[in-house]
Amino acid sequence: MRLRHLALLIGLLPIAVSGNSVSASLRPDGLRVAVGPTGQVVLHASRIPLNQVLQALSEDTGVALNYAEAPASPVSVICQGNALPRVLQCLLGTQASLVIERDGNPKARPKAGGFARIRLLASTFAEAPQLDPEVAREIDMALALSHSLSPEDRAHGLQKLARIEAVSPEALREAYQAALGDEEGDVRAEAITGMVLLDAENSFPLLSQAMSDEHPSVRLAALDGMDEADEKTLPYYQQALTDPDESIRALAGLRLGIE
């Protein structure tokens, strides 16, 4: 039977899921669910049966998910949203038939996001989107690499995700944001480059902070991501002229027109 893979096809609101404000369950079978304090959800799955993904979402959010039978075919997906229904739409398709029951006492279970129960109608699974098997394999490989023990593989995984058209900008942003906290400088540098490509206009706060990173590749990526020298960036180019790393000094001199 042809394996079904569900996609990174829908743009959802980006959310922050770092620090002590989030509970995350890390599962050894390639399934990760992170839940924010007021119901924000991030889902990563790599070739995980759909019924197991739904079970994990229900367990980690505390929202009951009712359905007659969900397919056990594997899915590869990155989804995020400010509430569970948005993530379900990403996972199952925007036409997913959801019957939502609100929580009468939302303050008692804040991570449920105000939802008590969501019923998934049978038509939901019949209409779930499918990826071309070759694209699905590319996503699987990129996700696996981005969670590798090897720093080189993690950086390469981010590069591969960026080249797959089926991966939404929001999903890429979430992957880059996670990689910004990587212990290896080369992985952080790759994440910075990716964030600039996604949204150069709003990247300056990230770049200015990264200029103080201990790893030269991160500082170089940050400097390279900045606009040509102007009133805002000039202090950082001047700082870079005295950087211990030769390549950073050279780039700063080039941008400032210094031979």
> Are residues 213 and 243 in contact, defined by beta-carbon separation less than 8 angstroms?
no
Give the chain's end-to-end CA distance (angstroms, integer): 64
Which residues, 6 or more positions from 49, have their beta carbon under 8 angstroms from its beta carbon? Answer: 71, 72, 73, 74, 75
Which of 213, 203, 245, 239 lies closest to 256, judged by CA? Answer: 239
Instruction: Please state, as a whole number, how many other Cβ atoms lie within 10 Å of the Cβ of residue 202.
Output: 10
Instruction: Indicate the burial class of 33 (C-beta count within 10 angstroms; 0-12, 13-18, 19 or more).
Output: buried
- Max mean pLDDT among 53-62, 82-91, 210-219, 227-236 falls in 210-219
Please tell me the distance from the alpha carbon of residue 68 to that of residue 161, in angstroms, as a whole number: 34
Q: Are β-strands 98-102 and 74-81 bridged in parallel, bridged antiparallel, or unpaired?
A: unpaired
Question: How much is the pLDDT for 170?
Answer: 73
pLDDT given at position 211: 96
The DSSP H or E segment spanning 179 is helix 169-179
Q: Which pLDDT band, with edges at 50, 70 and 90, does 228 fall under?
A: confident
Instruction: Write the pLDDT tens digit of every residue in 193-219.
Output: 999 998 888 999 999 999 999 999 999
Task: State pTM to two decimals.
Answer: 0.59
* 104-108, 216-220, 228-232: range with lowest mean pLDDT: 104-108
Homologous superfamily of domain range 134-256: Leucine-rich Repeat Variant (1.25.10.10)
226 in Cβ contact with 236 (< 8 Å): yes
* 59-86 per-position pLDDT tens digit: 988 899 988 777 777 887 778 788 898 8
- The domain spans of the chain are 19-126, 134-256
Question: Looking at residue 137, what is its pLDDT?
Answer: 74
pLDDT at 214: 96
